[in-house]
């Protein structure tokens, strides 16, 4: 211990981490993350850990202990609608505050944005996206679609090679976040060991439980100046339980879509009303708006809206 201390002249001040933390302003972002996002305990803990690591790294760079840019590429795994994109946006902010990316924009892409249609189309397309992402974070959703093992002439391989090269050589210019289902990502990493070794942080997003989904729904409605009537609250609780059993369940996204449809039904109900309504009725979602959903009917009479929407949810 004392040997270590002697190496440094006393002129270098002690490091006050509280002050450092306040100076970069990530404390507020982390608090915001805790406040705005329901649940996701393990994710929040990981983000805090990574932030601390980055802060220490930043100070070490300033003191000249390290000169190399750290590897910051990450992978976010989890089911759809568990908040991967939202957290990626916050991550971009944190990285920007700590000075690990210069601008802090988040460019969200999928295979279609990177891979071309014919020979010679992929490289310019990928480079175009990379140019936009420089200085920020490149978020590749469902990254495993980049690699199609069944087709060895697939152009995705070309995009992968360019990405790997940039991830290695331009570490100080951009951070790549790969996202997708956990099992498929695992397979993708086994088939592409180059990616695994270049990714420093793996974060797993757990599914929300029913009460978390409920409070997510409430927050969403609150933001749009709606609220649930007491009977609608009950209906919503029932809806969440039933919706989970249905195919294409995608956590918070399903809830958002369900609420969008409930708003639609509410509007329909209000417009069809014969008598004048109180203005506050425009804010209240009633139980019938939710109970009209397909999930409450045992087969047969399907709500066409619900049907259509769940088809889409499964895809994104």
Please, what is the minimum distance in Å from the beta carbon of residue 99 to other proteins?
A: 13
Q: Which two tokens stand for residue 157?
A: 């391989």
The binding track of 156-175 with respect to other proteins, each residue x by CB under 8 A or -, is: -----------------x--
The binding track of 192-231 with respect to other proteins, each residue x by CB under 8 A or -, is: ----------------------------------------
Of the candidate residues 41, 62, 131, 242, the single one contacting other proteins (CB under 8 A)? 131
242 belongs to the binding site for other proteins (CB under 8 A): no
Of the candidate residues 27, 70, 135, 206, the single one contacting other proteins (CB under 8 A)? 135
Please, what is the minimum distance in Å from the beta carbon of residue 170 to other proteins?
A: 8
Please, what is the minimum distance in Å from the beta carbon of residue 167 to other proteins?
A: 15
Residue 178 sits at φ, ψ, to 5 deg, of -100, 135
Q: Which two tokens stand for residue 195?
A: 């990616």
Q: What part of residues 248-287 is at the interface with other proteins (CB under 8 A)?
A: none
Q: Which is nearer to other proteins, 133 or 185 (CB)?
A: 133
Please, what is the minimum distance in Å from the beta carbon of residue 96 to other proteins?
A: 11
Dihedral angle, C-alpha 149, 189, 145, 309, nearest 10 °: 130
Q: Which two tokens stand for residue 296?
A: 């409450």
Please, what is the minimum distance in Å from the beta carbon of residue 169 to other proteins?
A: 11
Cα 99 from Cα 70, distance rounded (Å): 12
Region of 223 please: left (phi>0), alpha (psi -120 to 50) or beta.
Answer: alpha
Q: Of 260, 138, 134, which is closest to residue 198 (Cα–Cα)?
A: 138
DSSP code for 14: P
Of the candidate residues 136, 156, 180, 217, the single one contacting other proteins (CB under 8 A)? 136
Region of 167 please: left (phi>0), alpha (psi -120 to 50) or beta.
Answer: alpha
The binding track of 75-104 with respect to other proteins, each residue x by CB under 8 A or -, is: ---------------------------xx-
DSSP letters spanning 175-205: EEEEEE-HHHHHHHHHH-HHHHHH--EEEEE
Please, what is the minimum distance in Å from the beta carbon of residue 114 to other proteins?
A: 16
State the Rg of the chain over Cα.
24
Q: Which is nearer to other proteins, 134 or 281 (CB)?
A: 134
The binding site for other proteins (CB under 8 A) comprises 102-103, 105, 130-132, 134-136, 173
């Amino acid at each position: 211990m004392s040997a270590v201390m002697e190496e440094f002249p006393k002129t270098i001040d002690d490091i006050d981490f509280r002050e450092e933390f306040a100076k970069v302003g990530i404390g507020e972002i982390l608090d915001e993350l805790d406040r705005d996002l329901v649940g996701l305990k393990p994710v929040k803990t990981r983000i805090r850990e990574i932030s601390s690591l980055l802060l220490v790294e930043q100070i070490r760079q300033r003191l000249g202990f390290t000169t190399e840019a750290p590897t910051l590429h990450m992978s976010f795994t989890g089911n759809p609608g568990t908040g991967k994109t939202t957290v990626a946006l916050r991550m971009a902010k944190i990285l920007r505050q700590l000075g690990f990316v210069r601008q802090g924009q988040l460019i969200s892409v999928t295979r279609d944005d990177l891979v071309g249609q014919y020979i010679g189309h992929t490289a310019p397309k990928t480079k175009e996206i990379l140019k936009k992402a420089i200085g920020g974070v490149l978020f590749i959703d469902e990254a495993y679609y980049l690699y199609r093992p069944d087709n060895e002439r697939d152009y995705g391989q070309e995009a992968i090679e360019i990405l790997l090269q940039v991830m290695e050589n331009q570490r100080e210019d951009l951070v790549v976040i790969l996202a997708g289902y956990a099992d498929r990502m695992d397979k993708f990493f086994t088939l592409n060991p180059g990616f695994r070794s270049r990714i420093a942080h793996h974060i797993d997003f757990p599914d929300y439980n029913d009460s978390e989904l409920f409070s997510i729904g409430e927050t969403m409605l609150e933001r749009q100046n709606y609220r649930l009537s007491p009977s609608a609250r009950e209906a919503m609780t029932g809806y969440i339980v039933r919706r989970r059993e249905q195919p294409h369940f995608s956590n918070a996204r399903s809830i958002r879509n369900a609420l969008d449809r409930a708003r639609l039904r509410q509007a329909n109900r209000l417009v069809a009303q014969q008598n004048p309504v109180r203005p506050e009725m425009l804010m209240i979602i009633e139980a019938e708006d939710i109970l009209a959903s397909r999930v409450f009917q045992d087969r047969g009479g399907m709500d066409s809206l619900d049907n259509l929407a769940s088809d889409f949810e499964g895809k994104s």
